[in-house]
Structure 1
């Protein structure tokens, strides 16, 4: 038996609005510790991780760990039927192929329930290790959403650079360029309006703006957003969900087209050189390549010994295998028979 009761029903609406356009179908993992989700987008470029801890709900019960596969678009349609101040209850029985959503008004004068079929979704749960990032930026989520929206009118990608001067968002497009710099500001009256930058090393990475704009749909969940950057890791865009948990978006950096073309050309040149130089410069090649040449040469060298050894054993084999050595050996054979017997010499000359 699984059951959770959330007083702030609007919270689920905001969560689904933040992820339903990025992920179509996903598995919700239900356990004693909380209600979680982890899924990738269709292109396998972005990953979303959601956690709602059990202690954040008014009531939470999970007798055993199990998974509920749901279409997020259909789930969002169900949740939209609830008013923002309704109390939302989600129930599912063990072994059942359906899940029930129940919406109660605060005055208890209206109760509605909706049942939705569950899905069997094949997905792997990825273990995301905790990492140390070269730069961490905390800034107002509304400001980050506005920057992503403004830059998307100019270009398709955003370069996020963190240095001592602050965090810089820049883009380039057909109509021109745009640069927005946010400096650290901790002297504001409200903590949620502060911009805090923790930097171990300068970092600069490029990302697709359409994904960043998709991530900013989680802005209503939190006043602040945390952006964690490292040169060898995907960026992490995190929104805290009150005291309940978080929603994190992971996005792989984008390689610029010019860099990608140069990379491909460089690799192609290296491969071409290897193929051309393999034949004329066998001695300068690595051991693996030179071994093939060494194995071929002994086969040619072993032929003469095979032809020479039969000469001392049987004359028939020599005559069959090599005609040229017979011509060279005639003077030697002719001189011996002349001294011993003329008959043998005459037979040899006739042949």
Structure 2
């Protein structure tokens, strides 16, 4: 039995919109690791590979490996009945001939249920060999979409060239020619093995270290604040009681009540200043101690957002690469830009181009054979 609950039906809708024009019928191979689709277009020029990993689903259960033969046009029509933010659940029994889809609205009690007939599709499982590429270009997916759409107005083919100068897209048409050059500001990175990047999530240890650093720094700041507050309390006690030393040192041991007061003062220094009638110096010190704790957090968030942002072009190159491809296919590939803000182009001479989009739930990859004999 298969049961896969996806938090947003919009992700599946965007995915099918991107591949429905390339592939008509395909098998969704389901196993305990997730759902995988691999299929070629009718002309056997392009191959599409899609993976939804099991952890990406809110609930995932697959008792045994099973194929779901689906007509993508029909599945697209059924998915149009769901809102983008609906919770989508796919269900299929063992050796079933029907795929059950349930849409649950998050903000209402609406539950819609649809059954779609499955197909018996004889398709060989494709083994994609691991390839070491000569060049990889990581760029904003919106920029890639714009380039291929603009150049498709001029001609049918595009020449992609990766060199030390940058990456150049050029198209020669009957009436006009055009080219777009993208440069990397930091320079082209050369050397090393270039392979498709899997979505690695190894941020746990880094986050733990950051938390430890934050805890350590906060402890130090609390100790400093404690010293400052002790001195301040001594000043107040000197004025009230008059039985302290001239240096303002406290006598030991302190009472439990005084210790509790200091701990409460550490938790809310501003409140203490308001109640005491405020020593301005102490209020400034308290505010100063709270600001450094906030600044690193905001800076970390900004840096992580910048890493996930869709700006900048990164070029990794071991040698000069120049290949020609059909623009019609690249325009279809670019429809996946709605899934991810970044796209990777991986190239080697006489090897199919790899266009990869990684998103939270998995990835979608396109392989396109180069044109031979075109200038």
TM exceeding 0.5: yes
Q: Give the match for residue 220 of structure 1.
A: 338
1:173 aligns with 2:290: no
For residue 79 of structure 1, report the CA deviation from its aligned partner.
0.7
3-state DSSP class of the match of 1:39? strand
* Alignment correspondent of 1:30: 30
TM-score by length of 1: 0.71
* 1:257 positional shift: 4.8
Higher RCO (CA-CA < 8 Å; seq separation 6+): 2
Figure out how many residues of one structure are paired with residues of the other and give that number: 257
Distance, in Å, in 2 between the alignment partners of 1:232 and 1:174 is 26
Does the 8 Å CA contact 1:186/1:194 hold for their aligned counterparts? no
1:256 aligned partner: 373
Name the counterpart of 2:362: 245
The CA distance in 2 between the partners of 1:195 and 1:178, in whole Å, is 20
Which runs of structure 2 are paired with 1:300-311 in the superposition (5 Å)?
none
Q: Is the 8 A contact 1:27 1:67 kept in 2?
A: yes
For the Cα contact (< 8 Å) 2:324–2:374, is it kept in 1?
A: no
CA RMSD of aligned residues (A): 1.5
- Cα deviation for residue 108 of structure 1 reads 4.5
CA contact (8 A) 1:236 1:248 kept: yes
Q: How does 1:195-210 map to 2 (within 5 A)?
A: 195-210=313-328
Aligned 8 A contact 2:32 2:62 in 1: yes
For normalisation by structure 2, the TM-score amounts to 0.67
| Cα distance between partner residues in 1 of 2:312 and 2:126 | 33
Query: 1:236 corresponds to which residue?
Result: 354
For 1:43, the equivalent position in structure 2 comes to 43
Q: Which residue of 1 aligns with 2:115?
A: 115
Q: Which position in structure 2 is the counterpart of 1:82?
A: 82
Measure the CA separation in 2 of the matches of 1:88 and 1:118. Answer: 18
1:190 paired residue among 306, 313, 326:
306
| SS of residue matched to 1:232 | coil
Residue-by-residue CA offset, 1:123-171 (whole Å, 9 max, x unaligned):
1111111111000000000000000000001110000000000000000
SS for the counterpart of 1:233 is: coil
Q: Which runs of 4+ in 1 moved over 3 A?
A: 185-191
Structure 1: give runs of 5+ residues left out of the alignment: 259-351
The residue aligned with 1:162 is 162
Instruction: For residues 36-92 of structure 1, give each alpha carbon's deviation from its aligned partner in whole angstroms, at most 9, with x where no partner exists.
Output: 100000000000000010001000000000100000010011111001110000000
